[in-house]
C-alpha cells in the first residue's frame, strides 16, 4: 500500500519536527563549553591539607591537572603558579584560579573537584589492632572506625568504648559506645556518624 501525503500533511509534519528539535538544540546551546558550566559548584566543603584536587581548565589540557594540597596549604598549577587552596571552598578556588589565568588565557573556564578527601580525619586509640589516624570518608560510623583499625585486641573492654568530640565552644563531649549491645541491635543510636577530629577510645 502506497502512502500519499498532501501538502498540508507535510506542513504539519514539519511543524512537529521543529517543536521536537528546537528545545533540544536550545538545551545544547545553554550548556557550557565542554559541558562543564552546568557542573555543580561546591560552596560548602572547605579544602584542607593533603586533599587531592582535580582541576580542569576547558580546552587547556596542559593546565588541567590533578594536584595534592601541600603541607603549606598551597597548590601549584602551570601558568597560575602557587595558589592558596587550604581554607577555600572549591568555588572560591575556581574564582582564584580564573583570576590568575586571565593573564594567559582568554576567558578561562575552571572547574575544581575534590577527588579525594584526606584532610578530614578521625583517631582510634587503645586496644585495637591498628591504632592511629584515618581519613574520614563519607558517612563513617564508630563501627566503621573499629573495622578500619583492624578490630579489637584480646583484652579490649568492648562495653566501655567512648568517642571524644570537640564542641564549637571548645569543650569536649564524651559519647559512650557499647559494642556488645550495638552489634546485637540494641542501642544502635550509639553508632553515631563520625565528625572530623573525633577520637574513638577503646580501653
CA–CA dist 106, 42 (Å, integer):
24
Listed in order, strand segments (DSSP E) in 25-138 are: 52-57, 65-68, 74-77, 81-84, 110-116, 121-126, 132-135
* pLDDT band with cut points at 50, 70 and 90 for residue 17: very low
Return the DSSP state at 155. Answer: T
Q: Does domain 121-202 have CATH number 2.60.40.10?
A: no
Residue 42 has a pLDDT of 55
Reported as a single tens digit per residue, the pLDDT across 30-66 is: 333 333 333 345 577 889 999 999 999 999 999 999 9
Q: pLDDT over 70 for what percent of the chain?
A: 79
* Better pLDDT: 34 or 98: 98
Give the mean pLDDT of 94-117: 94
> Is the pLDDT at 19 greater than 50, yes or no?
no
Residue 30 has a pLDDT of 36
Helix spans in the chain (H)? 7-30, 90-101, 142-148, 179-182
Residue ranges of domains in the chain: 34-116, 121-202
Residue 173 has a pLDDT of 95
Is the Cα torsion angle 25, 29, 35, 37 positive or negative in sign? negative
Mean pLDDT of the chain: 83
Residue 52 has a pLDDT of 93
Q: Does domain 34-116 have CATH number 2.130.10.10?
A: no
**Nearest Cα to Cα of residue 196 among 21, 47, 42:** 47
> Is the pLDDT at 3 greater than 80, yes or no?
no
Helix spans in 120-186 (H)? 142-148, 179-182
Cβ(75)–Cβ(65) under 8 Å?
Answer: no
Cβ(132)–Cβ(149) under 8 Å?
Answer: yes
Give the mean pLDDT of 167-184: 94
Reported as a single tens digit per residue, the pLDDT across 106-158 is: 999 999 999 988 888 999 999 999 999 998 877 899 999 999 999 999 999 99
Give the mean pLDDT of 162-190: 94
Amino acid at each position: 500500500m502506497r502512502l500519499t501525503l498532501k501538502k498540508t500533511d507535510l506542513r504539519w509534519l514539519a511543524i512537529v519536527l521543529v517543536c521536537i528539535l528546537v528545545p533540544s538544540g536550545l538545551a545544547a546551546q545553554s550548556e557550557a563549553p565542554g559541558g562543564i558550566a552546568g557542573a555543580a559548584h561546591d560552596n560548602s566543603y572547605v579544602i584542607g591539607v593533603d586533599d587531592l584536587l582535580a582541576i580542569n581548565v576547558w580546552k587547556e589540557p596542559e593546565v588541567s591537572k590533578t594536584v595534592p594540597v601541600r603541607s603549606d596549604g598551597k597548590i601549584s598549577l602551570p601558568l597560575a603558579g602557587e595558589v592558596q587552596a587550604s581554607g577555600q571552598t572549591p568555588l572560591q578556588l575556581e574564582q582564584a584560579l580564573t583570576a590568575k589565568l586571565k593573564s594567559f588565557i582568554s576567558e578561562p573556564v575552571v572547574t575544581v573537584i575534590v577527588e579525594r578527601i584526606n584532610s578530614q580525619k578521625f583517631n582510634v586509640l587503645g586496644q585495637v589492632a591498628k591504632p592511629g589516624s584515618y581519613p574520614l570518608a563519607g558517612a563513617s560510623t564508630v563501627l566503621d572506625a573499629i573495622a578500619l583499625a583492624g578490630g579489637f585486641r584480646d583484652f579490649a573492654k568492648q562495653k566501655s568504648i567512648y568517642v571524644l568530640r570537640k564542641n564549637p565552644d571548645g569543650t569536649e563531649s564524651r559519647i559512650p559506645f557499647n559494642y556488645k549491645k550495638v552489634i546485637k541491635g540494641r542501642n544502635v543510636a550509639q553508632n553515631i556518624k563520625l565528625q572530623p577530629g573525633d577520637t574513638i577510645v577503646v580501653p
